[in-house]
Chain A
Amino acid sequence: MRYLIRRLVLFVAALFGLSLLVFVALRILPGDVASVMAGTNATPERVAALRSQMGLDRPYPRQYADWLSGLMRGDMGVSAISGRSVASQIGLHASITMPLIVLSLIVALGVGIPLGCQAVLATHARVRGVLHALAIIGGAVPALWGGLLLIMLFGRGVGLMGVLPSQGFPDAGWRDPAAAIAALILPAVATGLVAGAAIMRYTRACLMSMEDSDAVAMAMACGMTRRQAMLGVGLRLSAAQLVSVAGLTFAQMVTGVMVVESLFNLPGLGAMLINDVGNRDLVAVQSELFLLAAFFLLLGVLVDMVHHVLDPRLGEQPEEV
């Protein structure tokens, strides 16, 4: 319990630091939303008028305080350009990116863990070698290239076996779940395979280190086969490490899927951020970045807690966490 409180206090302190960092970093960028709105034909007077209309001429500490007090009330502000609330904007785009990440993670874990186990347990050296090579190749292929390959193989209208949509998100969105998931399959496979290769290597390394451990030896001494002992005991003991890896992969994917989203023309969080930064819609960008970073932090807290559940030994020495 003490551990939990300490972790939460740290979390809140980190959020504060984060908000300041995000605010300052964005103010260093050249250009502002008023000049973007006014465009290439604008007169300086017009830009100045827009600037005061949008409150960009207020002093920075005041802007920061306004933003922070809004955040505390759960109000992330309104985009200066689109006129939509930032929360709804994030929700709209996250409804594509988050399912995509979850699907990618399912693909990654579904491919990585069984193959990783197999790479240790396979009886033929040749099979192990092939699997190891697969893991290295898979990790070396950029998701963008893999995505292009997938489009050329399975993209509807362009691929050799045109079965899956490869462009955009269905008009009906999640009201048509089948079409929505179909639109996410190829991008999820593209990112999932790359991440899967990494998870496969981690799984392999974890299990290899377990191979010689007492726990596995004991299990075998009690009558388990090597395979049973490795999967039943070894994998169970590696779970904590694998959860960390999966958590990190999840966090990486938030930014990692951006490239693939643009290839498949999915309007996800990546497209949103790039557009908003490009338009210097700073109120929107700072809230979006803040939320994303908070999400990373939260993920870290969650992974730590899962660790505690999976590995009770950690609870005994909280100083080491």
Chain B
Amino acid sequence: MVQSNGAHGMSDATETDTTAQATARQERGEENQQPRVAADASTNVSTDASLNAHAKQRKSGRKPIIWVIAALVIVALVACCAIVQTHARKAATPTASESIAIGIKLAPVSLDIRNQSGSALEQLLIGNVYEALVSRNSNNEVEPGLAKSWTISDDGLTYTFKLNTHMRFSNGDTLDATDVAWSINQLKAKQYYNSDQVENLKQASAPDATTVKLTLSKPDANMLWYLSGRPGLVFDKDARYDAKTTAIGSGPYLVKSFDSSSKLVLQANPNYWGSAHKARTNTVTVRFLPDDNAAFNALTSGDVQVLSPVNANMTGKLKSSGKYTVKATDGSDKFVLAFNCTGAKTSDKRVRQAIRYAINHKEIIASRGGVDAALGGPIPSVDPGYEDLTGLYPYNPTKAKELMRQAGYSTSHPLKLTLTYANVYGSELGEQLRSQLSRIGIDLSVNTVEFSTWLQDVHANGDYDLSLVDHAESHDFYKWTQPDYYYHYDNPQVQALYGKALAATNDKDSARYLKQAARMVSEDAPADWLFAYRVSVAQVKGVTGFPSRLTQSVLPLWKVAYTPVTA
């Protein structure tokens, strides 16, 4: 023992010396080193054998201890971290929570609701941060908003709104009729987003502080509904702010912070004018979770209390755990497989009809978790004019093959088509359609592209055979009456019926015309409606007041509250 210690001490003492020698030898040059390598290697083994034997004994005695200590330190650090974390969490959770976190899938890229497209903006800001002249409830019906009542003249050309009194913006400015008129006239003048929806609106004026008068160029049955969306939003005419990063509205919440890659933090607006929609929770954090797995983990690890949407194929585990409630909610999302009506191959109605007969909607819906609803026409169940049209083109491969034969194609002589769609919808849908259509003699090549490429190629240039998009907006039937929209669908009868529906002065007649028009569109097969996407919402027990319908388009959060359930 003593000896080996001695040896150790000696070698330590000489260490710096030898290194110096080694470096010195390097500096002399490397040429004469090379030939000696072999000799060195052979002497290595024999001459050092006894030394090595000593050394190994000593080292193997010390080595494991170092490793064990290192491992212990790491484990201790991790444990400390964990303890600190869990303590911090416990301390931060009061009985009736001051805050709640909600996970959604798509993030708005900016807060500029007047210019920027995207349903996420409407979903998050309308009714929470900005308010419209009238509001929309979860049954998709118009309700009083900033205006407490309104009258419409018999000819349908003049709308007179009576506003609430003592209204204020979040910065303290008063909100009166002049702000409303200014906002609507600006929308028209600057051609802000969705201004085309209120084409028939000529002018807004403010006869007094609580009265707003709208003049129309022709009657429009949809006008009130559109005014509950972006066109009806009221902005502060005196405020100067960067609308992309902040927001000054009159809603129950104000924007505390926004980062489109992670979250939007809403805080109760201390200046809120109303009492009916006062925020029940002080801070609402909306997290953007584009990845389904990450979203699921965020819910189960307690980072969010509500997840909307949750992937329907993942809900089984949530339901069985007993800690969450999961509900599928109706909405206006329509997955539209559009056929280019003026395309070289798809202008043949028989081909379009064959495709509709060949698609097995049940199979597609089942593979997505079985919660989506079949949809046979352009109007979703939450909109006026809805009718179940799934009977028009039931799954019938025999009929589909017959139509294809008439059009001159068969499985041995297939028709080549390309499906172009944005990669945000995943690759499964394209693959399913490819395999279903291959059975009737269509050789479908699937081209998934970025959304911006889709916008350019399909939407702007109309250069496509088949396209697939989730058209999320409600009340968007009018796109079937515009031949220059990328559907390229041109049917004067449909356009006339839609005109009648708009001109109708009562809702019943209007809905009747819409119904007829929708049936006509579906019969012409300019598209197949794969399904109406029903969003599954998962929430942890203790969450109340989260909307149960239309969560993708209107998401009023003033009612939402969270009281953690103590196990």
Residues of A within 8 A of B (CB): 29-32, 35-47, 49-50, 81-84, 92-93, 123, 148, 151, 155-158, 162-169, 171, 178-179, 182, 185, 212-215, 217-220, 222-229, 232-233, 236, 262-265, 267, 271-272, 275, 277-280, 313
Contacts and interface: CB of A to CB of B under 8 A. Distances in A.
Contact of B116 (A37, A214, A226, A263): A37
25 contacts: A30-B453, A38-B193, A40-B117, A40-B455, A83-B242, A151-B297, A157-B303, A158-B297, A164-B81, A164-B85, A167-B294, A167-B301, A168-B303, A182-B81, A213-B33, A214-B36, A218-B21, A224-B15, A226-B55, A262-B294, A263-B291, A263-B294, A264-B294, A267-B261, A280-B452
Contact of B194 (A41, A82, A223, A232): A41
A226 B262 contact: no
B73 interface: no
B300 A44 contact: no
A217 B44 contact: yes
Given A35-B455, A81-B110, A262-B291, A220 B22 contact: no
Nearest to A156: B301
Contacts of A213: 33, 37, 40
A179 B117 contact: no
B84 interface: yes
Interface stretch (B274-282, B354-362, B456-464): B456-464
A263 B112 CA distance: 29
B244 interface: yes
B293 A263 contact: yes
Contact of A40 (B48, B84, B302, B471): B471
A171 B259 CA distance: 11
A275 B260 contact: yes
Contact of A163 (B81, B459, B473): B81
B196 interface: yes
Given A41-B194, A214-B25, A157 B301 contact: yes
A179 B452 contact: no
A222 B19 CA distance: 9
A163 B82 CA distance: 5
A225 B301 contact: no
B37 A36 contact: no
A150 to B, nearest CB: 12
Given A50-B115, A93-B261, A218-B22, A30 B456 contact: yes
B434 interface: no
Nearest to B18: A222
Contact of A157 (B17, B262, B300): B300
- Chain B interface, DSSP helix/strand/loop, else mixed: helix
Nearest to B262: A267
B90 interface: no
B191 A49 contact: yes
Contacts of A272: 261
Contacts of B110: 81-83
B488 interface: no
A148 B296 CA distance: 13
Given A81-B244, A163-B79, A214-B40, 19 more contacts: A40-B471, A45-B191, A47-B460, A82-B260, A83-B110, A83-B242, A148-B293, A156-B85, A158-B297, A158-B300, A163-B78, A167-B298, A168-B262, A220-B51, A225-B52, A225-B59, A226-B48, A228-B11, A265-B294
Q: Which 7 A-B pairs rank lowest in CB-CB distance, beginning with the nearest?
A: A39-B117, A157-B301, A83-B244, A31-B452, A222-B18, A225-B55, A163-B82
Nearest to A157: B301
Interface string B1-45: 000000000110011011101100111000001001100110110
A84 B14 contact: no
Nearest to B36: A214
A82 B51 contact: no
B313 interface: no
B425 interface: no
Interface centre among A40, A46, A156, A218 (most CB of B within 10 A): A40
B37 A214 contact: yes
B4 to A, nearest CB: 11
Size class of B's contact patch?
35 or more
A212 B88 CA distance: 55
Nearest to B422: A278
A219 B22 contact: yes
A206 B319 CA distance: 54
A228 B244 CA distance: 62
Contacts of B388: none
Contacts of A36: 117, 451-452, 455
Contacts of B59: 225, 227
Contacts of B19: 219, 232-233, 236
Nearest to A268: B261
A223 B191 contact: no
A280 B534 CA distance: 30
A41 B25 contact: no
B43 to A, nearest CB: 7
B56 A83 contact: no
Nearest to A181: B81
Contact of B460 (A44, A50, A166, A171): A44
B149 to A, nearest CB: 30
B326 interface: no
Nearest to B88: A179
A45 to B, nearest CB: 8
Contacts of B48: 220, 225-226
A84 B245 contact: yes
B266 to A, nearest CB: 13
Contacts of B88: 179
Give the interface centre of A35, A155, A236 by most chain B CB atoms within 10 Å: A35
B69 to A, nearest CB: 14
B285 A171 contact: yes
A167 B297 contact: yes
B198 to A, nearest CB: 13
Nearest to A83: B244
Contact of A31 (B82, B109, B112, B455): B455
Nearest to A263: B294
Interface in B230-270: 242-245, 259-263, 265
Contact of B40 (A45, A92, A212, A225): A212
A177 to B, nearest CB: 12
B428 interface: no
A278 B454 CA distance: 11
B56 A123 contact: yes
B459 A40 contact: yes
B151 to A, nearest CB: 30
B489 to A, nearest CB: 15
B450 interface: yes
A227 B56 CA distance: 8
A265 B289 CA distance: 7
Contacts of A157: 297, 300-303
| Most chain A CB inside 10 Å of its own CB: which residue of B14, B48, B115, B452 | B452
Contacts of A148: 293
A225 B11 contact: yes
Given A171-B265, A217-B43, A227 B55 contact: yes
Contacts of B293: 148, 263
B118 interface: yes
A277 B116 CA distance: 16
Interface in B150-196: 191, 193-194, 196
Contacts of B14: 222-224
Contacts of A277: 450
B52 A226 contact: yes
Contacts of B450: 31, 277-278
B476 interface: yes
B469 interface: yes
Nearest to A154: B78
B159 to A, nearest CB: 23
B460 A168 contact: no
Nearest to A278: B450
